[in-house]
Each structure stands twice: as structure tokens, then as C-alpha cells.
């Protein structure tokens, strides 16, 4: 199973959300998508999208400064 | 759920009429559409009147601001600030919209009234040409309907 990394640091609305969705679309079932970003609203909204898509939210982790990391299983 | 049922219950779909060609309103429409796709909904953009002007070749980001345009000065300032805030370009946002299977309909009546031919438009982006009936068919199956 592949692990796909998406770097959205420095990106503004709606890019982190959209890039996450694009990565999930390309991923195979079972693959893990890991998104890194620093856009505050996206940290809340990506988990909302994951729930709406019926996928598994593995973790939401705060990193240094305003950065965060979200892991999702397709 | 069968596709037909989905259409009747107005399940997860957003339809937006893009009537304005103003830069800020085009941004609003496409950002909402992309957000909807990202959240797992379907999205359709129906471009009509001044909005359709933006689908002319080379016209995507040529609209004025809806307020405080000040002969282009306000527009220039907003574009500069958007660049500083790393807001994605309309071209990028529309490419994302298409990649996530968003649908674009161009209004045939507007084309007729304003003398716009298919060759004048970004045919690479447009999925369908239609009139009010096409819009209603999209809208009746949508949980969210916006006019921008």
C-alpha cells in the first residue's frame, strides 16, 4: 500500500482541501494520504471532508508553529 | 441509491449560476464549486450573461471588481493582495474543478444574444451547451443552488 504525501504549506483556501481531494481520488483503496499545511481553516475542514467522503481519518497532528499534518486512509 | 432516486432527493450536488463576470464574483463561484467537489459533492457551473464573457478565450481573469474598481486601480490592488496571500489563479482553480469532475454548462441563449460562437469560447472547459431547461434539470437535483 502506497503512502502519498501532499505538501500544502503556504497555500490558501481552497487549495489544501482541493489538493487533498485530488490525492484521494488518485489513491487506491488502502493507500494513506498525508497532508501537511499551515492554513488554519483547512485543519478543521479536511477532517470534515474525510467524514463526508466516508474515509478513515488516521490522525491530525500539530507540528511546529502553525503547521499541521493530517493522515487519511483511502 | 439509484441515480434516479438521487436526482429526486436532491442529494449531494451544488449548482451555481455564474451570471456576473466580475473578478471577485467569479472567484466566489469557483471557490465554492471546488470546495463542494473537495467535500465529496458534485458541482455544476452554469455560465450565463456577463459570466459567460469570462469563458471567452483569454477572458477568464479580465473582469472588473464588483465594487471599488476605480477604473481598474482597485482591481490591480486586489490582484496584488491576492498574489501576496497566495490565492490560486482562476486558471488553476478551473483546472482543479475539471480534474475533480466538475461540470460546466454554457448558456446558448447568451451566445445567441451576444453573438458568441463556440469557437470564441474555451471549449476545453465546457461540457455542455444548454438553455434554461438544462439548468433546471441540474438544479432540481441539487441540495445547494446559488446565483452569483
Whether B8 shows a pLDDT value over 90: the answer reads: no
Give chain A as a 3 state SS string: CCEEEEEECCCCCCHHHHHHHHHHHHCCCCCEEEEEECCHHHHHHHHHHHHHCCCEEEEEEECCCCCEEEEEEC
Alpha-carbon distance of B57 to B24, in angstroms, equals 19
| pLDDT given for residue B3 in this prediction | 47
Between chains, do B39 and A15 touch, taking CB under 8 Å as contact? Answer: no
Between chains, do B39 and A17 touch, taking CB under 8 Å as contact? Answer: yes
Stretch among A55-69, B5-19, B34-48 having the lowest mean pLDDT = B5-19
If pLDDT is split at 50, 70 and 90, which confidence band does B26 have?
very high
Element spanning B14, H or E: strand B13-18
Q: Give the pTM.
A: 0.89
| pLDDT given for residue A1 in this prediction | 81
Calculate the CA B94 to chain-centre distance: 8
CA-nearest residue of chain B to A24?
B38
Of B35, B85, B99, the CB nearest to A14: B35
Between chains, do A18 and B100 touch, taking CB under 8 Å as contact? Answer: yes
Stretch among A40-44, B3-7, B40-44, B103-107 having the lowest mean pLDDT = B3-7
Q: What is the CA radius of gyration of chain A?
A: 11
Give the domain extent around B30.
Answer: 3-147
Element spanning B58, H or E: none
| CATH number, residue A29 | 3.30.110.40
Angle between helices B90-99 and A15-26 (to 10 degrees): 30
* Residue of B1, B28, B31, B39 to mutate for A, most A C-beta atoms under 10 A: B39
- Tens of pLDDT, residue by residue over A10-64, are 999 999 999 999 999 999 999 999 999 999 999 999 999 999 999 999 999 999 8
Number of domains in chain B: 1
How much of chain B, in percent, has pLDDT values that exceed 70? 93
- Tens of pLDDT, residue by residue over B75-124, are 999 999 998 888 999 999 999 999 999 999 999 999 999 999 999 999 99
Nearest-neighbour CA in chain A from B31: distance (Å)? 6
**Beta partners for B147?**
B17
Number of domains in chain A: 1
SS3 B104: strand
| pLDDT given for residue B112 in this prediction | 96
Nearest-neighbour CA in chain B from A62: distance (Å)? 22
Give the domain extent around A46.
Answer: 3-73
| pLDDT given for residue B90 in this prediction | 96
Amino acid at each position: 500500500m502506497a503512502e502519498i504525501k501532499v505538501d500544502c504549506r503556504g497555500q490558501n483556501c481552497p487549495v489544501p482541501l482541493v489538493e487533498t481531494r485530488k490525492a484521494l481520488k488518485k489513491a487506491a483503496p488502502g493507500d494513506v494520504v498525508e497532508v501537511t499545511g499551515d492554513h488554519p481553516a483547512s485543519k478543521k475542514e479536511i477532517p470534515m471532508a474525510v467524514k463526508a467522503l466516508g474515509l478513515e481519518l488516521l490522525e491530525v497532528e500539530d507540528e511546529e508553529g502553525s503547521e499541521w499534518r493530517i493522515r487519511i486512509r483511502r | 441509491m439509484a441515480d434516479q432516486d438521487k436526482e429526486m432527493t436532491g442529494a449531494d450536488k451544488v449548482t451555481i449560476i455564474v451570471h456576473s463576470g466580475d473578478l471577485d464574483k467569479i472567484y466566489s463561484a469557483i471557490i465554492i464549486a471546488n470546495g463542494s467537489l473537495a467535500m465529496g459533492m458534485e458541482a455544476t457551473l452554469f455560465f450565463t450573461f456577463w459570466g459567460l464573457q469570462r469563458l471567452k478565450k483569454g477572458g477568464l481573469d479580465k473582469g472588473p471588481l464588483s465594487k471599488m474598481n476605480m477604473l481598474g486601480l482597485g482591481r490591480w490592488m486586489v490582484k496584488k493582495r491576492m498574489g501576496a496571500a497566495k490565492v490560486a489563479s482562476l486558471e488553476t482553480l478551473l483546472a482543479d474543478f475539471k480534474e475533480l469532475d466538475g461540470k460546466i454548462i454554457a448558456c446558448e441563449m447568451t451566445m445567441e444574444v451576444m453573438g458568441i460562437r463556440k469557437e470564441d469560447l474555451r471549449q476545453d472547459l465546457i461540457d455542455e451547451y444548454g438553455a434554461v431547461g438544462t439548468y433546471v434539470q441540474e438544479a432540481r437535483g441539487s441540495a445547494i443552488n446559488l446565483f452569483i
